[in-house]
Amino acid sequence: MSLNVPWVSERVGRLVLNVPTDRLPRPAEPATPTSRFDGIVRLAAAGVGLVVDCRGPSLPRVLHWGADLGSPVADELAALAQARRPVVVPNVPDVPAAVAVLPEHAGGWLGLPGLRGHRDGRDWSTQFAVEAVECKAAVSGGTLRVRAVDAVAALELRLDLELTPAGLIRMGVSLRNSGDDVYVLDGLVVALPLPDIATELLELTGRWGRERSPQRRPFPVSTHIRDSRRGRTGSDSTLLLVAGEAGFGFRHGRVWGAHVAWSGNHRTYAERLPSGEAVIGGGELLLSGEVRLAPGESYEAPVVHAGYGVGLDELAHRFTSYVRSRPGHPSTPRPVVLNTWEAVYFDQNIDRLRGLADLGAQVGAELFVLDDGWFHGRRDDTSSLGDWFVDAGRWPAGLHPIVEHVRSVGMRLGLWVEPEMVSPDSDLARAHPDWILTAGGRRPPLVRNQAVLDLTRPEVSAYLLDRLDALIVEYALDYLKWDHNRDLIDAGSAAGTAAVHAQTLAVYALLDTLRARHPGLEIESCSSGGARVDLGILARTDRVWASDCIDPVERQTIQRWTGLLLPPELIGSHVGAPRNHTTGRRHDLSFRAGTALFGHFGIEWDLAGADEAELDELTAWVQLYKHHRHWLHRGRVVRADTADASTLIHGIVADDGDQALYAVVQMSSSVTTTPGRIRLPGLAPDTRFTISRTGPGPGPATTALVPVRWPETGTTVSGRFLAEVGLQAPPLNPEQLLLLQVRKHRSEER
């Protein structure tokens, strides 16, 4: 019996196949060319093609993932299937392993197995057989669901593949224990194949204050694993693991990347075997004994997202387009935020805060966020976390005086919280010491003078929900800045078992319940700055705080690489004081504000210390952001590949292609006196554009004795000219930013 699975891009429909597995043809058998290639599914969207062999009896394997192949004829499909068949050579199984989306050791795959687990040492190796294949096609993209069983190991598997309209693959898998005793799950990862031309890896690392730093390496025959055991995504999370052609950049070279949408421990990996087979994938990283499936219980793995593109910009565009397409993505203009942290720190004096709110309203801020220091006994970071009651000594009338004042000057109100943490010096910890995550009867080491609450205990989650709900209701809060300032070390539950998996799910449940109760509430994910940035937490929050460091030199690269996953409207970026709190460097306002312009714009500066000229210029930057944000937060982010590493060029092109804003950033001095040409990518090649300098203030400092005239007066050239030839860059001083406005020339307007 054959599986007549159509090439689903040719029609919209739904197909469900329930076939005895002993009657399914094996992939190794030669296919008979027909008008339809039996048992192979093709999905296509946005220039991406995904071809999956579902002929069974083993789990599906991907024959092609990359550029759309169009609608191949049967002979071409047969050739594609043949090309993906392993070659029989000495000292390999007589039927060589064909790596599936969930790789299996039993089939001869000698790389990382997709499923690892056992029943007291038994059923440690699985061999799933497909029971049903369900394909639901769309005009662009579609879904594929496969149900499989291993009758011997008494396990049931459901595998979901989706190709989104943006060309992004989403892979989900669930495992059910259909046996009579406990199955201990040690790990579950999914993988996609890589071609032999993917010979270089790019990943990100980082630390507090310098998140998402890129590092490259060759991709030889080896297994490259990036594990995060921090109990949160982590400052050193790779965010995206990318494999590609040697020397790939933002605008060139084919690349394939993967992201695990999970806010706890996780694994991302790339592997190439001596056979030549290579894969990229990931999943949750489980601690010992974390998931024990009783009879009838199931485990749902985090969704792994994977993308293909020519250049990192195209890959990033697939991720950001998908993120923007989610039903819960922010749809209103992103407000200008005034956050109090670097303005007042713990000195929450009501008169000082009122003055800050007045100045914030004067420059155009729209959301006032009261940061750390408002709750019971909190005067520094050594105490009081967990005591989520307004401090009566500092705020005898509650927060109402500052709330009323903030709203009277036209701003909305947000509040900082860190619900998952507790200070040993707190009323909560003294009353409930058993509410703290521990292991082996010992307390984990403190980090920032705090421990972690065990949200897997219902009473703990109920307490936090009650306190947060009460604050939101009493003060009609519009916004929560939700922080998480430490890794989970020795995170054990009351039962003594590892608890990171359950803790992550409990955090998700708490956020989901709050959002359900307060649909208009916006939540920011902050975690020692940018240590919890992933699509799992972003399914429940409205932006991330990319880093506690808002020094524009550091933020240029932090935001550049965070943009591989997220669009700018989800990346909080603030204008700090002239002297940076974290690094001590001093920068012009044009550099600080020009950097913040390409994210969710905000202010984190004691404006009482600014002079009139600074306030006027800041007001102009706020007005510039408000004027452009309606298209900046829908546009396509582009980044140029520059020959001189001292210069960064990036921009946003409006979705209608009529305009763009670019930043030319001189990060350091150049080895040459003239930095070369500014090439601006992403514009329609045959359309003429006028380019000129924009932005408040006198503009960036330059070493040129005779100024370059075009930035001030404007010049008109084609998009192809700007991308391929470019214009002579002015020789900027280090740590300067030139903001360029590009508009379609009047002759091109419809």
pLDDT at residue 85 above 80?
no
Q: 159 and 249 in one domain?
A: yes
Give domain status of residue 445, yes or no: no
Pairing of strands 278-284, 183-194: antiparallel
Confidence of residue 413 (pLDDT cuts 50, 70, 90): very high
Mean pLDDT of all residues in 62-89: 82
Q: 665 and 629 in one domain?
A: no
Confidence of residue 22 (pLDDT cuts 50, 70, 90): very low
pLDDT at 712: 62
Here the CATH number for the domain that contains residue 146 is: 2.70.98.60
Give domain status of residue 108, yes or no: yes
Beta bridge partners of 417: 482
pLDDT at 1: 28
Percent of the chain scoring above 70 in pLDDT: 94
Give domain status of residue 744, yes or no: yes
- Would you state the structure tokens that stand for residue 510, as one six-digit string? 């708490």
Burial of 355 (0-12, 13-18, 19+ CB in 10 A): middle
Q: 343 and 287 in one domain?
A: no
Q: Could you report the per-residue pLDDT of 525-571, keeping only the tens digit for each?
A: 999 999 999 999 999 999 999 999 999 999 999 999 999 999 999 99
- Rounded to whole angstroms, the Cα distance separating 447 from 568 reads 31
Q: 159 and 52 in one domain?
A: yes
Count of helices and strands (H, E) across the chain: 13, 38
From residue 479, alpha-carbon distances to 361, 421, 475, 518, 598 in Å are 17, 19, 11, 10, 21
Are the CB atoms for 569 and 603 separated by under 8 Å? no
249-260 burial code (b ≥16 CB/10 A, e <16): ebbebbbbbbbb
- Rounded to whole angstroms, the Cα distance separating 468 from 657 reads 44
Q: 286 and 346 in one domain?
A: no
Here the CATH number for the domain that contains residue 728 is: 2.60.40.1180
Map residue 454 onto helix, strand or coil. Answer: coil
Are the CB atoms for 210 and 531 separated by under 8 Å? no
Q: Which of 165-169, 275-279, 671-675 has the highest mean pLDDT?
A: 165-169
pLDDT at 713: 66
Q: 307 and 413 in one domain?
A: no
Domain end position, chosen among 581, 600, 634: 634
Mean pLDDT of all residues in 430-452: 94
Lowest mean pLDDT among 82-96, 438-452, 474-488, 510-524: 82-96
- Rounded to whole angstroms, the Cα distance separating 414 from 160 reads 39
- Rounded to whole angstroms, the Cα distance separating 155 from 148 reads 9
N- to C-terminal Cα distance for the chain? 58
- Rounded to whole angstroms, the Cα distance separating 59 from 225 reads 24
pLDDT at residue 21 above 60?
no
Give domain status of residue 330, yes or no: no
pLDDT at residue 10 above 60?
no
Q: Considering only CA atoms, which of 407, 560, 381 is closest in space to residue 483?
A: 381
Give domain status of residue 232, yes or no: yes
Q: Taking the model in full, what pTM does it have?
A: 0.94
Q: 99 and 174 in one domain?
A: yes
- 749: CB partners within 8 A, 6+ apart: 658
Q: CB-side exposure of 166: number of CA atoms within 13 Å?
A: 20
- Rounded to whole angstroms, the Cα distance separating 713 from 163 reads 46
Mean pLDDT of all residues in 429-444: 94
Q: Could you report the per-residue pLDDT of 674-683, keeping only the tens digit for each?
A: 778 899 999 9
CA 243 to chain centre: 17
Q: Could you report the per-residue pLDDT of 24-38, keeping only the tens digit for each?
A: 333 333 333 222 346
Q: 273 and 168 in one domain?
A: yes
Give domain status of residue 450, yes or no: no
Are the CB atoms for 489 and 444 separated by under 8 Å? yes
pLDDT at residue 14 above 50?
no
pLDDT at residue 694 above 70?
yes
Mean pLDDT of all residues in 590-614: 98
Q: 642 and 623 in one domain?
A: no
Provide the 8-state DSSP code for 413: E
pLDDT at 586: 97
- Rounded to whole angstroms, the Cα distance separating 608 from 222 reads 57
Mean pLDDT of all residues in 512-524: 97
Residues tagged active-site: 483, 548
Confidence of residue 711 (pLDDT cuts 50, 70, 90): low
Map residue 26 onto helix, strand or coil. Answer: coil
| Strands annotated E in 90-128 | 115-118
Query: What is the four-CA torsion angle of 540, 543, 548, 554, rounded to 10 degrees?
Result: 130
Domain range for residue 685?
A: 637-748
Q: Could you report the per-residue pLDDT of 172-201, keeping only the tens digit for each?
A: 999 999 999 999 999 999 999 999 999 999
Domain end position, chosen among 634, 668, 700: 634
The label of the residue with tokens 């916006």 reads 522
Q: 99 and 214 in one domain?
A: yes
Q: 623 and 642 in one domain?
A: no
Give domain status of residue 331, yes or no: no
Q: 192 and 56 in one domain?
A: yes
Domain end position, chosen among 290, 325, 360: 325
pLDDT at residue 327 above 80?
yes
Here the CATH number for the domain that contains residue 411 is: 3.20.20.70
pLDDT at residue 495 above 60?
yes
Q: Could you report the per-residue pLDDT of 210-242, keeping only the tens digit for each?
A: 999 999 999 999 999 999 999 999 999 999 999
Instruction: State the total domains in the chain.
Output: 3
Q: What is the length of the chain?
A: 750
Are the CB atoms for 560 and 650 separated by under 8 Å? yes
Confidence of residue 388 (pLDDT cuts 50, 70, 90): very high
| Residues 75, 77, 80, 81, CA torsion sign | negative
Give domain status of residue 493, yes or no: no
Lowest mean pLDDT among 92-101, 217-226, 483-492: 92-101
Number of Cβ within 10 Å of residue 326's Cβ equals 11
Q: Could you report the per-residue pLDDT of 328-384, keeping only the tens digit for each?
A: 999 999 999 999 999 999 999 999 999 999 999 999 999 999 999 999 999 999 999
- Would you state the structure tokens that stand for residue 507, as one six-digit string? 């955090």
